[in-house]
Amino acid sequence: MEGVCHSPLTGFVEEIVIAEGENVAEGATVLLVEAMKMHHEVTAPSAGVVRGLIVGKGDQVEEGQQLFEIEAGGAQAIVADLPDAASAESAGADLLADVLARRAKLEDEARPDAVAKRRALGRRTARENITDLCDTGTFSEYGGLAIAAQRLRRPVEELIDKTPGDGMVCGVGTVNAETFGVEAAQCALLSYDYTVLAGTQGVRNHRKTDRILDIAERQLLPVILFAEGGGGRPGDTDQSELFHLVVPTFRNFAKLSGLVPRVGVVSGRCFAGNASLLGCCDVIIATPDATIGMGGPAMIEGGGLGTFTPEQVGPAKDLATAGVIDLLVDDEASAVDAARRFVGYFQGPISDWSAPDQTELRTIVPDDSKRVHDARAVVTGLFDTDSVMELRPAFGRAMITAFARIEGHPVGVIANDPSHLSGAIDAEASDKAARFIQLCDAFGIPIISLVDTPGFMVGPDSELTGMVRRSSRLFTAAASISVPFVSVVVRRAFGLGAQAMTGGDFHAPAINLAWPSAEFGAMGVEGAVRLGFQRELAEIEDESAREQRVAELVEAVRAQSNALNMATFFEIDDVIDPATTRARLISTLNAAGPVTSPLTTGIRRRTVDTW
């Protein structure tokens, strides 16, 4: 005998393929054993004749039981075909063909009419944006084969053709992997598909969103959301809920605050539920044709509030001024590029960087103390070339907030802008800076403060904006951070506003530096003179003489308030050549050591205000 064959498992004999006494080739199937509704082949260990077959169809066999032996010799061995082998192979091919055909229907090419409508609007499809954003070939889609929950009112084939993915394209892919490596570049990606039921939120659409948000939370992935769409969808019938209010999507997205960065991108119409998710994002990037609102025209009209076109509800230009939109860009391609850049600040340092000529910083601030300088020139001149991304430039214009890099390392920048309100910090500027400080602290990004302010904005009109409360946000935000905070007084540092810009007081920063052009005081020098010497000045009747005395007093006070004199009292840490600012910042940040991020630790520092 050439070999004995035993049963590989306990089961029942389903089929005798080669009978007793028949020739068999090595490896050919002799019989089938069924267990747990699956058929398991028992094959010949060598070529020969089947002998000693002691079981028949339907017999129970035990694992290890001898079933037959193979006797060497005999006529030419044959291989018996399994009864349904050919049909099984054909069925497998058919199943694969069905899958491939269904997957093909997800592609834009399968829906030329829908794509043509996007082209007519000058917009991209959801898949085009994700393809552009992700590194080539890295997008792994979730739930692409889902369809709208409307089987009770529409044929399944129609739903397959018209509602691919239930209007949501989502998954995981890498963004910037070439720069930061595959692991750091993983992102969760979601895009409402406006070509499917106007990008509305349906039953399975929400379920897909929740699935990816759960993946993002567990794997600590930044989230990038393309939010165009009309909000909740009333037409889904395959559900048990009455008004579809038990939906965890909004809570799931909100609880990611301070754990992973979230980027919202919108072009076109974005209303209701879509807008709610967009509003939770850490940064909102929009194109000029975007219109964003908590209710669309139908909801507004239904509430008896008037009739409006979609474009009249929250146009992008107005919302950028209102502070809703962080970055207004030219088109969707620019929006994708901006999203890619923004995520990069949270993915780590880069090795390929260059710096502007630092000696140019010496000439940015004019010698005339009343002449305004270009604060943005200071920012771009100080940090790595082409590394600055300013946020909310049209809102809170007295304050600049921006991400940048210094020697490749990401930093957050707040800076007073003297071109608006002479740099006085109003309510909007306070909100803007406080929220930005929260964002930087949440994700372990050091903060650089460039100070040039006459203080907080005052006056009856200012107080009516809620100044008392809103200005204090800047103090509370800065006082609670754990990331390094460094300040540089570029010019004026007066009063409470200057203290707020330095983290609460002049010794709160890791280092507080000043340029030679800096001057200090409880308030502006001239104002302080006129207020402090009010009685003396009132006694001078001649106006020319009075103003001459003001000038003399201002000069005397200014001599006491300059940077060098402040340094002698050790109210600031040092007065430096502007050209050495960058080097001092780098050495201070290096001394502070590495800062952790929830993206690596999974530990949330804080949530980030949506405003």
Residue 389 sits in which domain range? 358-518+562-594
Structure tokens at 306: 């008037």
307-354 residue pLDDT tens: 999 889 999 999 999 999 999 999 999 999 999 999 999 999 999 999
Q: Determine, yes or no, domain membership for 293.
A: yes
Could you tell me which of 528, 584, 517, 524 has the C-alpha nearest to residue 375?
Answer: 517
Q: Is residue 321 part of a domain?
A: yes
- pLDDT, residue 347, reads 97
Question: Measured between alpha carbons, how far is residue 30 from residues 74, 345, 399, 556 in Å?
Answer: 16, 64, 83, 110
Q: Are 487 and 391 within one domain?
A: yes
pLDDT, averaged across the chain: 92
Same domain flag for 262 and 311:
yes
- Judge if 228 and 339 occupy the same domain: yes
Q: How would residue 523 be classed by pLDDT, with cut points 50, 70 and 90? A: low
* Same domain flag for 163 and 180: yes
Residue linked to tokens 């060598």: 46
Looking at the fold, whether 486 and 554 belong to one and the same domain comes out as no
Looking at the structure, tell me whether residues 284 and 406 fall in a common domain.
Answer: no
Kindly state whether residues 381 and 327 are assigned to the same domain: no
Indicate whether 98 belongs to any domain. no
Q: What is the pTM of this model?
A: 0.87
| CB distance 170 to 207 below 8 Å | no
Asked whether residue 471 falls in the same domain as residue 528, the answer is no
- Residue 472: give its domain's CATH number: 3.90.226.10
Is 254 contained in some domain? yes
pLDDT, tens digit, 9 for 90 and up, residues 530-563: 777 778 888 788 888 888 887 877 777 777 789 9
Task: Tell whether 102 is covered by a domain.
Answer: no
- pLDDT tops 70 at residue 568: yes
Q: Do 239 and 317 have their domain in common?
A: yes
| 553 within a domain of the structure (yes/no) | yes
Q: Where are the alpha helices (DSSP H) in 314-360?
A: 316-322, 332-344
Residue that is written with structure tokens 């395959």 in the block? 238
Q: How many residues does the chain have?
A: 611
CA distances from 394 to 203, 250, 324, 587 (A): 38, 28, 10, 33
Position 508 scores a pLDDT of: 97
**Cα 189 to Cα 132: distance, rounded to the nearest angstrom:** 12
Q: Are residues 555 and 570 in the same domain?
A: no
422 and 540 fall within a common domain = no
Domain-terminating residue out of 316, 344, 372: 344
Query: How many domains is the chain partitioned into structurally?
Result: 4
Identify whether 135 is part of a domain. Answer: yes
Q: How do residues 38-89 score in pLDDT, each as one tens digit?
A: 999 999 999 999 999 989 999 999 999 999 999 987 545 555 555 555 565 6
Q: Does residue 593 carry a pLDDT above 70? A: yes
**239 and 291: one domain?**
yes
* Phi and psi based region of residue 69 (left: phi greater than 0; alpha: psi -120 to 50; beta: remaining): beta
pLDDT digits (tens, 9 = 90+) for 186-228: 999 999 999 999 999 999 999 999 999 999 999 999 999 999 9
Exposure pattern of 221-259 as b/e (b: 16+ CB <10 Å)? bbbbbbbbbbbbbeebeeeeeeebeebebeebbbebbbb
DSSP string, 280-291: HSSEEEE-TT-E
| Greater model confidence, 511 or 98 | 511
Res 298 pLDDT > 90: no
- Which residues is 264 bridged to in the sheet? 225, 284
User: Residue 396's CB: how many other CB atoms inside 10 A?
Assistant: 23
Structure tokens at 82: 């399994």
pLDDT tens readout for residues 113-154: 999 999 999 999 999 999 999 999 999 999 999 999 999 999
Directed axis angle between helix 332-344 and helix 126-133, to 10°? Answer: 40
Strand bridging mode 3-6 / 48-51: unpaired
Distance CA 569, CA 590 (A): 27
pLDDT digits over 454-512, tens only?
A: 999 999 999 999 999 999 999 999 999 999 999 999 999 999 999 999 999 999 999 99
